Chain A
C-alpha cells in the first residue's frame, strides 16, 4: 500500500513538473475517453435499455419476414397469432398488440395520439404494473366490451394535468366514450411511442383472417426454454401453417427476436456498433499520442531509473512506477472526459427533434449513469496501461551500468525505442486515415440526404395527418365530402399557394418514396422510376 501511495505521490509530482506535456496528454485522453463514454451511454440506452421494463431477456417477438422482398420484420395475421397462442409450447404466455392511432376529443382540443390495442395479458407478460388503477380484464377483449383505456404517464400529465381522480372518468376516443381504468408509470411507452392502450377485441371475421397482417406478437419464454429452442418450435409451426394455407403463407417466414433487438432496429444496432468502433479508434489514437509523449518524457529519465535499479528496484517495480504515472494521467483525462461526455450528450439530446426522438427506443434513458462512470474508470485504466506499458517496458530494459557511467556508450535499446516510436506514429496515421475515410463517407451520405430535401423545399411545406372517427364518418360519401371541404378551405387561406391530399407523405415515418408506387386520382397509374 505504501509503495502504491509513494508511486502516486511521485507520479503526481512529475506530472506537475511537466505541466505542458501533462495538459496536452490530458486533453488528448479527455477527447478519446469522453467520446467513448458518451457513445457508451448511447449504446447502453439503445442496446440494453431499449425497452422500458425489467427482465426483457425472457421475452421475444415473433415476426413474419419476407427475404425475397427485403422485408426483415412484419406483423402477422390474427389467425396466425391465435394458432401460435394455442399451439406453442415454449412460452408461459403469448400476447399481441396492434397499432391504433386515435383522436382524443371531448371538452379539450382534439388531439391525435398513438394508441395500441393490446391483449389483456400484455402488461402481465411484460411484468409491468400501472401506477394507478388496473390493466385490462380478459372479458374486455370481447368486441363491444372494449371501451376501456389505459393512459400513459405523459398523456395523463400533459392532457389531464395529472388528475388524481382520472380513474373511471370517460374520455372521447374517435367519438366513442372510453373509461379510464389505469395510468401507466413514468417512462413506460411500450410499444414505442405508446400514449394509450385499449383492449384488442377481434371480431369473428378478424379472428379467421390470414391475409391481413397487422398483429405484433410477443411471447414470454418458459424458464427452461432458450430463444433458440423457441425459434425451432415456432419454425415448425410456421411450416405447418404454410402447408395448410399455401395461398396466404407463400413467401413468408417466421423469425423469433429477443424483445430488445425487436425494439431497436437493426440499423440502430449497426450504427451504434459502428460508432463505438469509431470512437474506439479515437481512443487508440489518443493512447498512441500519449505513449509518444511518455516516451519522450521517460527517455529523459534514464539516469534516474538506472539509479533506482542500482538501489534495488526490480524491473517490475520500475514498470509499476511508470505505469502509475500513466494511469494518473489517464484518470485526469477521464475526469475531463466526463465533462466532455456530458456536454456531448446534452448536445445530442438538445438537437434531436422530439418527433424523431420519441421513435428511438431507449432515447429517454440516455444519461451518464453509474455504468458510464464505471466504464470511464475502466477505459481510463486501460488507456493508462496501454499508453504507458511500451515506454515503461522499453525504458526499464536499458543497461544500468552503461547508463550510470558518465559517458555511456550508445545502446541498441535506443534503436529499439526509435523503432517503436516510429511504429506508434505509423499506427496513429493509419487509424486516423481509417477514421477520416469513415467520416468522409458519413458526410457524403448526409449531404446526399440534404440534397434530396433541397429538391422539395421542405421548409415551405406543412403536412398534417388526418384520420376521421369511424363512428361519425362511416359512409364513404361523408368522408369524401369532408376531405373535399378541408382541401377547399385550406386552398383559399391567404398564405397557402396550393394544397393537396395523399395517402402517404413522401419520406414520412422514416421511409422514402422509392418503396411505394403512387398514382394521381383520375389518371392511369405510372410505372415506377
Chain B
C-alpha cells in the first residue's frame, strides 16, 4: 500500500541508446526524475526529443541502457520479463495517441482486457468494466465496436481500459494527438477529473496548452531534461 505523497517513480541517470545498423542513437541522457503519488506530470518537448522513449521506459515497455529506475520502491532492473508484464498489468494504465483499441473486440471486451490477464472472476470483471465506462461516460456503448465510435469516444474507452484495473499510475502518450480540439479538451478534462479523484498521471505531449493541465511539467530537448515547471496553471 502506497502512502499519499510517497515516491512512486524514481529515475537516476537513466540513459537510452538505440543501436541500428551499427549507428548509435542517444535517445535519452542523464534523466533524473521523481514522481510522487497523486501527482499530475506532463513531459513536453519537440518531436524526437525522447518523450515517448521516456514514457516507454516509465511504463516498462522498454528498458534503459543505463541508470536506475525504481517503481513503487522496487528496482526495475532486477525484474524478469514476466514480473514486468505483471506490473504493467496491475500497476500501470496506458493511454495511447492512436487509442490502440482492438478493432475485433467490443467496447466491453476492450476495457475488460487487462482484467482477463490477471484472472479476475467474471462477476468482478463485469462490475469493474461497468464502473470504468461510467466514469468516462461510455457505459451505453458496451456492445459497439471501435469502428462504430468517433475518435473522442474511442479515446474515452481507452481511458476506461487504462482505469479498469485501478492502476497506480496512468501513462498517457499524446492522448489528444489524434483528436480535434474539442475532443482533445474533453479528454484532458477527463484526465484532470481523474487526477482530482486521486489518480497519478504522467502524460507526454508536444502541445504546451495541454502540458499546462499538469501541476508539473518536465521539458525535454535532445533526450535531456532542460527545464522543470513545478506548478502548472490551469488550462485555458
Q: Mark B102-131, 1 if CB is under 8 A from A, else 0.
A: 111100000001101110001000000000
Give, as a whole number of angstroms, the nearest-CB distance from B28 to chain A.
13
- The answer to whether B104 and A310 touch across the interface, beta carbons within 8 angstroms, is no
Q: A10-B104, A17-B104, A401-B53 are in contact. List 7 more A-B contacts (CB 8 A).
A: A6-B116, A304-B104, A308-B113, A311-B94, A311-B114, A400-B61, A405-B52
* Segment among A129-137, A254-262, A287-295, A312-320 that sits at the interface with chain B: A312-320
Give, as a whole number of angstroms, the nearest-CB distance from A205 to chain B.
85
Q: Is the interface of A mostly helix, strand, loop or mixed?
A: helix
Which A residues lie within 8 Å of B113 (CB)? 308, 311
Q: Mark B162-204, 1 if CB is under 8 A from A, else 0.
A: 0000000000000001000000000000000000000000000
Interface check B5, CB cutoff 8 A: no
Give, as a whole number of angstroms, the nearest-CB distance from B196 to chain A.
25
- The answer to whether A312 and B114 touch across the interface, beta carbons within 8 angstroms, is yes
The residue on B at minimum CB distance from A6 is B116
Place the interface of chain B in its size category. Answer: 20 to 34
- A2–B122 Cα distance when bound, in Å, is 9
- The answer to whether A14 and B97 touch across the interface, beta carbons within 8 angstroms, is no
- The answer to whether B61 and A311 touch across the interface, beta carbons within 8 angstroms, is no
- A6–B114 Cα distance when bound, in Å, is 13
Give, as a whole number of angstroms, the nearest-CB distance from A119 to chain B.
69
Place the interface of chain A in its size category. Answer: 20 to 34
- The answer to whether B114 and A406 touch across the interface, beta carbons within 8 angstroms, is no
Which B residues lie within 8 Å of A310 (CB)? 59, 61, 88, 94, 100
- The answer to whether B102 and A312 touch across the interface, beta carbons within 8 angstroms, is no
29 contacts across the A-B interface (CB closer than 8 A): A2-B116, A2-B122, A3-B116, A6-B116, A10-B104, A10-B105, A13-B104, A17-B104, A304-B102, A304-B103, A304-B104, A307-B96, A308-B102, A308-B113, A310-B59, A310-B100, A311-B89, A311-B113, A312-B85, A312-B86, A312-B118, A314-B81, A314-B117, A315-B81, A317-B117, A401-B62, A404-B61, A406-B97, A406-B177
Interface check A528, CB cutoff 8 A: no
Interface check A457, CB cutoff 8 A: no
Q: Is the interface of B mostly helix, strand, loop or mixed?
A: mixed
Which A residues lie within 8 Å of B53 (CB)? 401
Which B residues lie within 8 Å of A242 (CB)? none
- The answer to whether B114 and A404 touch across the interface, beta carbons within 8 angstroms, is no
Q: Which of B46-82 contact A (CB under 8 A)?
A: 52-53, 56, 59, 61-62, 81-82
Which A residues lie within 8 Å of B116 (CB)? 2-3, 6
The residue on A at minimum CB distance from B56 is A401
Q: Which residues of B contact A (CB under 8 A)?
A: 18, 20, 52-53, 56, 59, 61-62, 81-82, 85-86, 88-90, 94, 96-98, 100-105, 113-114, 116-118, 122, 161, 177
Which B residues lie within 8 Å of A317 (CB)? 117
Contact partner of A404 among B90, B96, B102, B118, CB < 8 A? Answer: B96
Interface check A309, CB cutoff 8 A: yes
- A3–B85 Cα distance when bound, in Å, is 17
Interface check A303, CB cutoff 8 A: yes
- The answer to whether A307 and B102 touch across the interface, beta carbons within 8 angstroms, is yes
- A317–B116 Cα distance when bound, in Å, is 11
- The answer to whether B86 and A303 touch across the interface, beta carbons within 8 angstroms, is no
- A312–B56 Cα distance when bound, in Å, is 14
- The answer to whether A309 and B102 touch across the interface, beta carbons within 8 angstroms, is no
Q: Which residues of A contact B (CB under 8 A)?
A: 2-3, 6, 10, 13-14, 17, 303-304, 307-315, 317, 400-401, 404-406, 409
- The answer to whether A404 and B85 touch across the interface, beta carbons within 8 angstroms, is no
Which A residues lie within 8 Å of B105 (CB)? 10
The residue on B at minimum CB distance from A315 is B81
Which A residues lie within 8 Å of B81 (CB)? 314-315
- The answer to whether B104 and A401 touch across the interface, beta carbons within 8 angstroms, is no
| Most chain B C-beta atoms within 10 Å of own C-beta, residue among A303, A308, A309, A311 | A311
Contact status of A312 and B117, CB under 8 A, knowing A10-B104, A304-B102, A401-B56: yes
Contact status of A312 and B90, CB under 8 A, knowing A401-B56, A401-B61, A409-B20: yes
- A323–B87 Cα distance when bound, in Å, is 25
Which B residues lie within 8 Å of A2 (CB)? 116, 122
- The answer to whether A14 and B104 touch across the interface, beta carbons within 8 angstroms, is yes
Give, as a whole number of angstroms, the nearest-CB distance from A298 to chain B.
13
Contact partner of B161 among A6, A303, A311, A409, CB < 8 A? Answer: A311
- A313–B61 Cα distance when bound, in Å, is 12
- A17–B147 Cα distance when bound, in Å, is 15
The residue on A at minimum CB distance from B121 is A2
Give, as a whole number of angstroms, the nearest-CB distance from B208 to chain A.
20
Which B residues lie within 8 Å of A406 (CB)? 97-98, 177
- The answer to whether A313 and B104 touch across the interface, beta carbons within 8 angstroms, is no
- A59–B94 Cα distance when bound, in Å, is 71
- A288–B144 Cα distance when bound, in Å, is 37
Give, as a whole number of angstroms, the nearest-CB distance from B125 to chain A.
9
Which B residues lie within 8 Å of A405 (CB)? 52
- The answer to whether A314 and B85 touch across the interface, beta carbons within 8 angstroms, is yes
Which B residues lie within 8 Å of A314 (CB)? 81-82, 85, 117
- A2–B121 Cα distance when bound, in Å, is 9
- A13–B113 Cα distance when bound, in Å, is 16
- A492–B102 Cα distance when bound, in Å, is 88
Which B residues lie within 8 Å of A312 (CB)? 85-86, 88-90, 114, 117-118
